[in-house]
Structure formats: structure tokens, C-alpha cells
Structure 1
């Protein structure tokens, strides 16, 4: 899961294609794990937290930096997502980056009703009631969490209900959508470069972005040129 750094890098130049925000207790060893692996097989650089990052009370700086350095954030809303102050801090940071840094956000409603997310009803109402009872949590922070949930809950995303939709199919749809968007971003990065369009199209064809096959493409040139490259693009050709 998920993130503050004194100096926030601007896009492009991100370290990750996708940041995964999720409640580990609910989906770490199931849906989120399968989604992460599907991204890896497609050559998409995804960030997910490790369990040892959550030993403290405050959100880890590694998570804040990962959010700031990602192109997309996928928020897996599960039944106990709002139980975690970590998840809610991640969510607030994701919304902040969505507004300030063009981070794109895709919600996944995992066995929960999207309206419960937007309105903080059902299991989310219970979670926020518990947070309200905690005198150590600032009321302003709680409102920030609620606003973030409402905003992301209103976004178009994937809704996965038990026994009604295949998890594998849902993951396939998400990975394909992100892959296509990243491919379009790659093309946009080359706008205005003279004589590069045909070369980009040839490279995209060689990469076969829609394929699950592993492709290896060697890149060579003057020493040091690679330092100016976009780290996301390099993951596409690894």
C-alpha cells in the first residue's frame, strides 16, 4: 500500500507505472497479488507495499514517494479498506496527486457497493465511526479521508461481486486498459520530435503491447544518453 518527499518529481520521470492501494488483510494474497503478477508479466512496473512497511503509526515515506512517482493509482476498495488509517492516508495522498500531478486513478470495488464508498455507508460507516471515537485522530484529517473516498468512489472503475464476475476477467480488463493508456502516453512523449513518428510506430509494433509474450529489445547509443530516458519507457522494452 502506499507515501512524502521534500522534492516531488514531475511527470514524466516516474519510477512506477502503477501504484496499488489496498487493504492487505482483505486482498494481499488474493486479488491484489494476482493483479500485481499480471502487471509484472505484461512488463508494467507496479508498486505494492510490503507488510513490514506498516510497523509504525504513520504512513511510510517510501509509500508517499511511490505514489508521487507513479502514473496511475489503482485503489482496491474492499470491506475493511477504511478500517486502516494507512489506507486512508494513501487515498488522501492519491487524491492530492490526482489534482496536482496528473496522476490517474482507477477504483476497483471489490465485493463492496460503490455507493457505500461514495457515501461512507455500510462497512465504511462503521469504520469511520470508530475513527471518530479516537481522540488521537484530528477531525480535519477524518474529513479529508471522507472527501477522498467520495471523490475516488465517483470515478469510473471496476465492480467485482462474489460469484457474479470472474476475478481473472476483471484483472485482464484492468491490465489491458492500463497497458493501452501507457502506450498512448509513450506516443505523446514523442510529439514534436522530427522524424521520430515512424520509428516509434515500428518500436510499438515490435513490442506487441497487446501480447502477453516476453519481448527483449536491445537499445544502444552514445554513452550517457540513457540517463535522460523515461524510466517507464525502459520497462516496456526490458
Structure 2
């Protein structure tokens, strides 16, 4: 499915699927099964499996992978919103959806869709922490 785009200023498709996830929640369980099934079905996918350290910025490689993926699979899990890295990925994914007509598929892993939508439970706690952490840059949290 990976193909190049003929539209100007639209990043070329390099991957069928980009997978956004919180490693500590799914790396040794759901992600391994997903990886196996995507590979078995010959779906070209990008999974950033490097350990992320607090304060790390999203790398240009990761941003290019998001831009160059036709579909982004966002796996919302209990601690997804606690990671500024995951939320920055999500902002980029939504930008690509709006600007380049990319497809975004949410997966709710051990969380309720309403908790994500209305920022309840662990999502509420995480956003309160981000608001405190980024109080000088509230636009970052709003994004």
C-alpha cells in the first residue's frame, strides 16, 4: 500500500500504519500481538520502540514517520495522557489528519472512550499535571 503522493506539499507515504502508544502500558502485551498480526498481513508499519526519557523531544525521524504514514493507530491506554511525548505525537497526528487527509483510528485499551473524550479518571489527572508543568505555555496543553 505504501505509495507516493502526487499532491504538492503532501508528505510521501512510506508506511501504511504509524502506531502511537504508551510503552509501559502495552509494550509487552497488546503491542506484541498487534506487531505479529500487522507483519503476518504484510502491512508496513512504524512502531517507535525506543525507551523515551522524561523531557525528551520528539525526534525528526518520528515526525517524518507520522507524516509519512497513511493511517495512525492511536492506542489510548491508562497512562497514555501522562506522557507529554504521546500527547505531542497525537498533536502531530491530528495535524496530518487535517492537513493531509490521513486516517486516524483510535483504540481504547483498558480505558473507556468517554474517559478520553471528557478527560476523566487517569486522563483528568494527567492533564492537571501537564497544566501545572506547562503553566507558562498553556497553548501547548490546549493543543
TM-score by length of 2: 0.88
Question: What are the equivalent positions in structure 2 for 1:101-116 lying under 5 Å apart?
Answer: 101-116=100-115
Output aligned runs, 1:145-160, within 5 Å.
Answer: none
Q: Deviation string for 1:82-106 (max 9, x for gaps)?
A: 0000000000000000000111010
Matches within 5 A, 1:58-69: 58-69=57-68
Alpha-carbon offset, residue 10 of structure 1: 2.4
What residue number does 1:75 align with?
Answer: 74
* Contact map agreement 1:20 1:47 (CA 8 A) in 2: yes
- Assess, with a 3 A threshold, how the Cα gap between structure 1 residues 138 and 103 changes in structure 2: closer, same or farther: same
What are structure 2's unaligned runs of at least 5 residues? 1-7
- Residue matched to 1:88: 87
Shift of 1:121: 1.0
The one-character-per-residue Cα deviations of 1:183-231 (angstroms, maximum 9, x if unpaired) are: xxxxxxxxxxxxxxxxxxxxxxxxxxxxxxxxxxxxxxxxxxxxxxxxx
After superposition, the Cα gap between the structure-2 partners of 1:137 and 1:60, relative to the gap in structure 1 and judged at 3 Å, is farther
Bigger share in strand: 2
The count of aligned residue pairs is 135
Q: Which has the larger radius of gyration?
A: 1
* Structure 1 runs not aligned, ≥5 long: 1-7, 145-238
Which is richer in helix?
A: 1
Alignment correspondent of 1:206: none
Distance 2:83 2:133 in 1: 13
**Offset at residue 24 of structure 1 (A):** 0.2
Alignment partner, residue 152 of structure 1: none
Instruction: Point out 4+ residue stretches in structure 1 off by more than 2 angstroms.
Output: 8-11
